[in-house]
Amino acid sequence: MVQVKNSQVIYTKKPVGAIVPGEHIKVIPSTIDLTVTLAEGEFLVKVLYLSVDPYLYYMINEGKLYETGAPLFGNTLGVVLRSNNPNFKQDDIVYNLMAQGVFEEYTLVKPDQAVAYRVRKDAQSSGLPLSNYMGALGLCGLTAYAGLLEIGKPKKGETLFVSTAAGAVGQLVAQIGKNLGLRVVGSTGSDDKVKFLTEQLGLDGGINYKTDDIDYKLTELCPNGIDIYFEQVGGPILDTVLKHVNVFARIPVCGMISHANKGPKDSPIYNTYQILAKWITIRGFSVAHFLDKEDEALEKITQWLRDRTITYAETIAEGIDQTPQALLDMLNGKSVGKQMVKVADF
């Protein structure tokens, strides 16, 4: 028996409004036996990265999906240490795409949990950073690619507006849009991030939603209206965008981050009549709707990363103990690009 430290990120209390690290979620010590006999179909994973995403807030705030005193779960990236499952070999890099990876240092994966894991066979040979497989080549990449192409249905020359454009998904949506010949404008929460959008990602314009007049800036930067709005925010930005979209506009919706940390009160939406008047298509979605596009998305995004027509910004917190604060930083807009936690070296 070889017992080793296995710290876990635990859900302790349902928040009302903002999450407080140490009160609603905390990291507690635990142990695991790395020599345990594996039942048929089981495999043991050393967790390398935890994905810190907006949906974690909804799962924590709902208070139903997580059990009090139990670990959080979400998307994780790790390496197989031992296996009694023919589909997963020792030293395989594995990614949990379906948000079922336990937030801990080591995970014993049961046979019925294995379906949520994917082997990333090219992760050790692609020449790309391993962390890319937590974001651009993981959940975020598939969300961006499928949401824009399958729901947004872009046509060259159209105008795309992306909220949270400096975030994990938004930066990909924006750059894919540019690669497809769209005019792309994005919103974000600081002047530095606006510069990141226009100077590093090559967008046609950027809006600081905290200080700019959004209505005025959309008129200035989207003179021909908006054909596609990639929605991740909700609230006043969505309300304003509805005034600027064109007839037959498409709005893929994969998040409503403005509702996070606000408690029971949400911002009202006044311009919903535009949905009817302009025959707008609005569709909420998650990656679960587009798993059949996973291979296509991985191939395309891998090539774009290799030829540098897409760059991918990441904010990486070091150590599992930093997970609660990393989540709060992401929700408060302090991170740039994809927020994740590095648990261990490969």
**Global pTM value:** 0.91
Q: What is the pLDDT of residue 40?
A: 97
Map residue 189 onto helix, strand or coil.
coil
CA neighbor of 221 nearest in space, from 235, 208, 233, 211 = 208
Distance CA 295, CA 293 (A): 6
Tokens of 171: 């930066």
pLDDT tens digits, 153-178: 999 999 999 999 999 999 999 999 99
**Contact 263/241 with Cβ under 8 angstroms?**
no
| Residue that the structure tokens 């807030």 belong to | 57
Distance CA 280, CA 250 (A): 6
Tokens of 3: 């017992």
Amino acid present at 310:
I
Classify strands 117-119 and 93-96 as parallel, antiparallel or unpaired. antiparallel
* Helix locations, the chain, DSSP H: 55-62, 139-146, 170-179, 191-195, 214-221, 235-244, 273-277, 294-306, 323-331
Q: Is 256 exposed, middle or buried (0-12, 13-18, 19+ CB in 10 A)?
A: middle
Within the chain, which residues score under 70 in pLDDT? Answer: 62-64, 258-266
CA neighbor of 134 nearest in space, from 184, 183, 93 = 93
Q: Which residues of 123-135 are buried (b: 16+ CB within 10 A; e: fewer)?
A: beebebbbbbbbb
| Residue that the structure tokens 């009817």 belong to | 276
Give the H/E segment covering residue 338. strand 338-342
Map residue 224 onto helix, strand or coil.
coil
Distance CA 260, CA 263 (A): 8
